[in-house]
Structure 1
Amino acid sequence: MHRDDPLDDFDARSIDLQGIRKIVHVSGSGPAVIIMPEMPGISPQVARFGRWVRDAGFTTFMPSLFGRDGAVPQAEEGTAVFKRACVSTEFHAFGANAASPVTSWLRALARLAHDECTGPGVGAIGMCFTANFALTMMLEPSMLAAVVSQPSLPLDDPGGLEIAPEELANVRQRLEQENLTVLAYRFAGDPFCRAQRFAAYSHALGERFIGRVLPDSAANPDPPPFFKHVIGSPHSVLTAHLIDETGQPTRAARDEVLAFLTDRLLA
């Protein structure tokens, strides 16, 4: 976890959708699960989570959205990636009530993945900068399972949601009609994903939103430099701050995500 990951057990595919080409790292077999990286990119910890999903019986699709694929999150490099993403036209880092433009491409990726893979539909997991993208992707009919981990956007509004109100209403209607739920995680003291945001999700989605709050004491005390020196608090439930040991709350969260995907896509 402290060395760059070559990702050589993934197929780095160049996928063109809607006239936009991105590298997507694909591995496994079974129903598709799209794993969107947290800031500052597809780290060894994100790749480890992708392998856990793959080994649970899924085809993992990890789109490269920012940063250097496989790189250990360093403080200076990660900060530069974060600053570039904040001004990119693909993302809405600031201001609530509007989804990032990249979510249209991600919904197209879900359609492609569903066409290529077996199973009733597709799952998506977003983290940090990309967390709410998984919720917006529920506008795509092939999407059946969304996991929202430490949703951090919009950065300037702790209680804001990065999705247009009419889209949010459509998502809730679909969740109700098809008896679906959205699974979400955060650490209690995370300044990038505060209680106000989970309260906003709960108000918008009602009982269709299942929010889990982990104690700060459950976080890995020795995360990569970007998380230690830039983030500076427990944040990444499924990756950088996960402790892969029996009895740890973060491992239990990982297992719950895998069971959630299995129930929706394999059962």
Structure 2
Amino acid sequence: MQQTPPQDSRDDDLADFTARSITLDGVTRTVYVGGSGPAVVVMAEMPGISPDVARFARWVRAAGLTVYLPSLFGRDGAYPEAEAGREVFRRACVSAEFRAFGAGRSSPVAVWLRALAAFAHGECGGHGVGALGMCFTGNFALTMMLEPAMLAPVLCQPSLPLDRPDGLEISPGELAAVRERLDREDLVVRAYRFEGDRFCTAQRFAAYAAALGPRFESRVLPADAANPAPPPFFSEIVGCPHSVVTAHLIDAAGEPTVAARDEIIGFLVKRLGGTGEQRQDVH
């Protein structure tokens, strides 16, 4: 599928990834692939694959892992402007692929993402696959644990359902199956949020902890650790500390967000067997 050309000098052309059309379960999506080593599925936050999302994917790739970055919504590579991002958010909220409202149900798109994990494992080999979801896609990494190849789930500011601060976007049966697998295979779920995030609340993390017990390993970053000048979508529409490894990350030594990023990448490398060597291919 041909992408709309960049319209802003701050857009990312994603030229250092290979844009592939991947068909799974009869559905074709563009997936940006790059790197070598075990596979990690990185799922973008609202409003899509922004330059900051691509930057995080490059950090993962530089650690000796293969990144699969599926296009799920928005214009790929677009700088997150406020009104354009708001429109992407509105469309996703009414899309049949996502369950933005109502707890206890999983989004249909998660089935395709599980198939992508299996496909990526078949291509890359290794012990298994990692996945990281953010915001709108935050919980998908947990649901993807129903795929046996999935070994390393990371939930960054999981924000669905939007109408239940203490709700979980997964069906009870799937949640029970995931918990049973985590216990049986001695696996854990990593999760990250900022204090004061009104989309991913303390109540939601408490609900995960109640459901998953010690298999749920959470990190809560102080609100004042967030980048105070994120792109317009995040400053005007989101309006709170939110995006741990992207828009609200401060890329400087000693910053809590950089420590979180490094911890996440270390977790992926340890579980999947990447090299862990930070190559200089991030721009």
Shorter-chain-normalised TM-score: which range? over 0.9
- Match of 2:148, SS? coil
Map 1:96-115 → 2, pairs under 5 A: 96-115=103-122
Taking structure 1 as the reference length, the TM-score comes to 0.99
- Paired-residue identity, %: 68
CA–CA distance in structure 2, aligned partners of residues 237 and 181 of structure 1: 19
Is 1:194 aligned to residue 201 of structure 2? yes
- Match of 2:259, SS? helix
Question: Alpha carbons of 1:245 and 1:2: their partners in 2 closer, same or farther (altered >3 Å)?
Answer: farther
Partners of 1:22 and 1:64 within 8 A in 2: yes
- Match of 2:207, SS? helix
- Match of 1:54, SS? helix
- Match of 1:100, SS? coil
Query: In the alignment, which of 128, 132, 136 is matched to residue 129 of structure 1?
Result: 136
Report the counterpart of residue 203 of structure 1 in structure 2: 210
Partners of 1:66 and 1:81 within 8 A in 2: yes
Say which structure, 1 or 2, has more relative contact order (CA 8 Å, 6+ apart): 2
Report the counterpart of residue 85 of structure 1 in structure 2: 92
Displacement of 1:262: 1.0
Is 1:159 aligned to residue 159 of structure 2? no
Which stretches in structure 1 are left out of the alignment for 5+ residues?
none
CA–CA distance in structure 1, aligned partners of residues 247 and 270 of structure 2: 26
Report the counterpart of residue 188 of structure 2 in structure 1: 181
Query: How many residue pairs end up in the alignment?
Result: 267
Which amino acid is 1:28 matched to? G
Report the counterpart of residue 262 of structure 1 in structure 2: 269
Is 1:145 aligned to residue 152 of structure 2? yes
CA–CA distance in structure 2, aligned partners of residues 86 and 48 of structure 1: 26
Query: In the alignment, which of 17, 21, 24 is matched to residue 28 of structure 2?
Result: 21
CA–CA distance in structure 2, aligned partners of residues 188 and 168 of structure 1: 25
Partners of 1:2 and 1:224 within 8 A in 2: no
CA–CA distance in structure 1, aligned partners of residues 34 and 266 of structure 2: 19
Query: In the alignment, which of 227, 231, 237 is matched to residue 230 of structure 1?
Result: 237
- Match of 1:14, SS? strand
Question: Alpha carbons of 1:146 and 1:91: their partners in 2 closer, same or farther (altered >3 Å)?
Answer: same
Is 1:216 aligned to residue 223 of structure 2? yes
Report the counterpart of residue 250 of structure 1 in structure 2: 257
CA–CA distance in structure 1, aligned partners of residues 173 and 203 of structure 2: 21
CA–CA distance in structure 1, aligned partners of residues 266 and 13 of structure 2: 28
Which stretches in structure 2 are left out of the alignment for 5+ residues?
1-7, 275-283
CA–CA distance in structure 1, aligned partners of residues 223 and 187 of structure 2: 29
Displacement of 1:2: 7.4
Map 1:36-55 → 2, pairs under 5 A: 36-55=43-62
Which amino acid is 1:138 matched to? M
- Match of 1:138, SS? helix
Displacement of 1:118: 2.6
CA–CA distance in structure 2, aligned partners of residues 216 and 260 of structure 1: 23
Superposed CA RMSD = 1.0
